[in-house]
């Protein structure tokens, strides 16, 4: 953006704690002509006072008190006009927090950019705004139907780290973790750099997790409340939906969520689902063969999943909860579900390992209930490919190579048969296993057409 001839307006957005502020600061060498951060839950008067302080810190010593955002941007113009020659980088962080009720923030920002900043003959402004409230960014800026429509020059969604990037980060900061350790930490923390920054050298994975979540005054002990309350102004409805999805493996339909959450159907409920999806907490997918109908919603945020399955269950405040749990059936139940979510977050890596990166495909789930003709079946991930193949993926988190038993081979064969019968598909059906350390060769392993280990997810 610094090298572009025209003035630039960049919107950076992404999940809370993903590293947006850090990225901007590092990219510009911590040197800004003007830098301001919105105040969490601050009313208009406090937001304006904070903005005035930022103007003074940037060199506008005679800045008067501000009565509204029109005054605020007028003073920002004055600061820029007195700033001499050269590019002027303006960084406004947590912009959604500044948008208090009836404050006219967005309209004044539109006026500042359209009527003044882009009209400057100097073409010297680089404006970067960001915020964790992804839904607000999307609604008010990216899909703006007013003065900002088509006026953004750059937009960037900052995704969480992949497994490979978390492994690279661990090595860079001197953490000696095996790949299984990185995988387990990813199942708990996701690819959120802020969470990974608290991991300590010399501690096992279980010790680190206890230190993060379960010891007295743990660093992330109150993260769940902070996560949703800082993103959504009225988080109760969002939390009700998350609660419903928290322990459901396959996900729920819109009707099921309405029934369980007791939220009234309507525009508000639709907004909740849409904004949770935009923020990366849930995903919406259409089951195979549904013709675009019957969409399901599934919780995919790793930390939130860990909260519901593990943190909330530590009712007695055991400071070594994870060290006491990591070999239990409770751990195995969580790990199986968490591993499935990690796989769903690494679809490009799975497709690459299968050699189908260039093939048009759709990833979804499928299930059918028991009937007189068949016993029913559930497939948590299938890849429907444009080359007339569908991969039915089984995901198994194990401590060694996965051995298929006779009973499981019969179950897999039955599942594939039910899928063919119910869907009437004419595509070739390939049973695919994604496991921790690959597939053990035995009398029943031949039923698997293709198999991946978690090493394939680290590419």
CB 55 within 8 A of CB 75: yes
Query: Which residues neighbour 196 within 8 Å (Cβ) at sequence distance 6 or greater?
Result: 161, 166, 169, 170, 185, 189
Confidence of residue 369 (pLDDT cuts 50, 70, 90): confident
DSSP lists the bridge partners of residue 432 as 393, 450
CB 239 within 8 A of CB 304: no
DSSP 386: T
- 312-321 confidence digits (pLDDT tens): 888 668 899 9
Mean pLDDT of 113-122: 94
Over the Cα atoms of the chain, what is R_g?
Answer: 25
Q: Helix, strand, or coil here: 302? A: helix
pLDDT above 70 coverage of the chain, percent: 99
3-state SS of 25-40 is HHHCCCCCCEEEECCC
Query: What is the distance between the alpha carbons of residues 434 and 75, in angstroms, rounded to a whole number?
Result: 58
Query: What is the distance between the alpha carbons of residues 294 and 44, in angstroms, rounded to a whole number?
Result: 43
- 180-219 confidence digits (pLDDT tens): 999 999 999 999 999 999 999 999 999 999 999 999 989 9
CB 162 within 8 A of CB 188: no
In the numeric block, the tokens 């973790």 are attached to: 177
Please state the separation of Cα 276 from the chain's center in Å: 10
Q: Helix, strand, or coil here: 284? A: strand
Confidence of residue 338 (pLDDT cuts 50, 70, 90): very high
Residue 306 CA: distances (Å) to CA of 119, 120, 235, 379 = 50, 51, 19, 22
The CA dihedral of 47, 52, 55, 61, to the nearest 10 degrees, is -170
pLDDT of residue 160: 94
Confidence of residue 30 (pLDDT cuts 50, 70, 90): very high
Mean pLDDT of 227-248: 89
pLDDT of residue 6: 94
Query: What is the distance between the alpha carbons of residues 35 and 41, in angstroms, rounded to a whole number?
Result: 19
CB 23 within 8 A of CB 156: no
pLDDT of residue 193: 95
In the numeric block, the tokens 């967005």 are attached to: 106
Query: What is the distance between the alpha carbons of residues 291 and 295, in angstroms, rounded to a whole number?
Result: 10
Query: Which residues neighbour 102 within 8 Å (Cβ) at sequence distance 6 or greater?
Result: none
CB 432 within 8 A of CB 354: yes
pLDDT of residue 107: 95
**pLDDT, averaged across the chain:** 93
pLDDT of residue 232: 86
The interaxial angle of helices 236-245 and 254-261, nearest 10 deg, is 110
Mean pLDDT of 386-413: 95
- 262-288 confidence digits (pLDDT tens): 999 998 999 999 989 988 899 988 878
CB 124 within 8 A of CB 89: no
* Total length of the chain: 459
Checking if the pLDDT of 2 tops 70, the result is yes
Please give the sequence-ordered ranges of beta strands (E in DSSP) within 85-228, or none if there are none.
88-93, 125-131, 154-157
CB 160 within 8 A of CB 190: yes
Please state the separation of Cα 381 from the chain's center in Å: 19
Please state the separation of Cα 298 from the chain's center in Å: 13
Query: What is the distance between the alpha carbons of residues 28 and 1, in angstroms, rounded to a whole number?
Result: 10
DSSP 445: G
Query: What is the distance between the alpha carbons of residues 137 and 12, in angstroms, rounded to a whole number?
Result: 9
DSSP lists the bridge partners of residue 435 as 396
Residue 263: CB atoms within 10 A of its CB come to: 17
Is residue 414 exposed (0-12), middle (13-18) or buried (19+ Cβ within 10 Å)? middle
Query: What is the distance between the alpha carbons of residues 338 and 65, in angstroms, rounded to a whole number?
Result: 52
pLDDT of residue 194: 95
Mean pLDDT of 298-306: 93
Checking if the pLDDT of 406 tops 80, the result is yes
Checking if the pLDDT of 456 tops 90, the result is yes
Please give the sequence-ordered ranges of beta strands (E in DSSP) within 74-223, or none if there are none.
88-93, 125-131, 154-157
pLDDT of residue 316: 67
Q: What angle do CA 148, 131, 45 make, to 5 degrees?
A: 85
Classify the phi-psi angles of 453: left when phi > 0, otherwise alpha if psi is within -120 to 50, otherwise beta: beta
Checking if the pLDDT of 247 tops 80, the result is no
pLDDT of residue 438: 94
Please give the sequence-ordered ranges of beta strands (E in DSSP) within 234-358, or none if there are none.
252-253, 282-285, 296-299
């Amino acid at each position: 953006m610094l090298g572009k001839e025209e003035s630039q307006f960049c919107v950076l957005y992404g999940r809370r704690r993903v590293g947006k502020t850090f990225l901007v600061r590092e990219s510009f060498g911590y040197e800004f002509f003007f830098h301001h951060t919105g105040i969490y839950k601050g009313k208009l008067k406090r937001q304006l006072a904070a903005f005035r302080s930022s103007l003074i810190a940037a060199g506008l010593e005679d800045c008067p008190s501000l009565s509204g955002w029109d005054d605020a941007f007028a003073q920002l113009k004055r600061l820029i006009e007195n700033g001499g020659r050269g590019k002027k980088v303006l960084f406004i962080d947590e912009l959604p927090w500044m948008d208090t009720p009836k404050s006219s923030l967005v309209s004044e920002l539109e006026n500042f950019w359209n009527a003044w900043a882009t009209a400057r003959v100097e073409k010297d402004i680089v404006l970067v705004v960001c915020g964790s409230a992804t839904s607000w960014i999307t609604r008010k800026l990216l899909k703006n139907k007013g003065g900002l429509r088509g006026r953004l020059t750059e937009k960037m969604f900052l995704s969480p780290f992949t497994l490979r990037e978390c492994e690279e980060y661990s090595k860079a900061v001197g953490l000696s973790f095996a790949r299984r350790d990185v995988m387990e930490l990813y199942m708990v923390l996701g690819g959120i750099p802020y969470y990974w920054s608290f991991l300590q050298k010399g501690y096992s994975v279980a010790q680190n997790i206890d230190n993060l979540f379960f010891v007295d005054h743990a660093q992330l002990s109150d993260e769940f409340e902070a996560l949703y309350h800082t993103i959504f102004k009225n988080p109760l409805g969002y939390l009700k939906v998350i609660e419903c999805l928290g322990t459901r493996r396959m996900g729920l339909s819109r009707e099921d969520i309405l029934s369980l959450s007791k939220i009234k159907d309507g525009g508000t409920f639709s907004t909740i689902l849409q904004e949770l999806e935009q923020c990366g907490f849930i995903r919406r997918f259409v089951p195979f063969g549904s013709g675009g109908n019957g969409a399901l919603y599934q919780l995919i945020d790793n930390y939130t999943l860990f909260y519901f399955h593990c943190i909330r269950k530590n009712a007695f405040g055991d400071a070594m909860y994870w060290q006491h749990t990591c070999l239990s059936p409770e751990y195995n139940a969580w790990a199986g579900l968490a591993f499935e979510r990690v796989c769903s977050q690494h679809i490009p890596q799975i497709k690459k390992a299968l050699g189908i990166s260039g093939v048009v495909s759709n990833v979804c789930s499928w299930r059918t209930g028991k009937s007189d003709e068949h016993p029913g079946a559930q497939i948590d991930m299938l890849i429907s490919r444009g080359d007339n193949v569908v991969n039915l993926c089984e995901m198994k988190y194990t401590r060694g190579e996965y051995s298929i038993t006779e009973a499981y081979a019969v179950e897999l064969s039955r599942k594939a048969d039910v899928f063919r019968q119910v869907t009437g598909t004419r595509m070739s059906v390939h049973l695919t296993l994604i496991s921790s350390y690959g597939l053990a060769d035995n009398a029943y392993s031949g039923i698997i057409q293709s198999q991946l280990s978690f090493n394939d997810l680290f590419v």
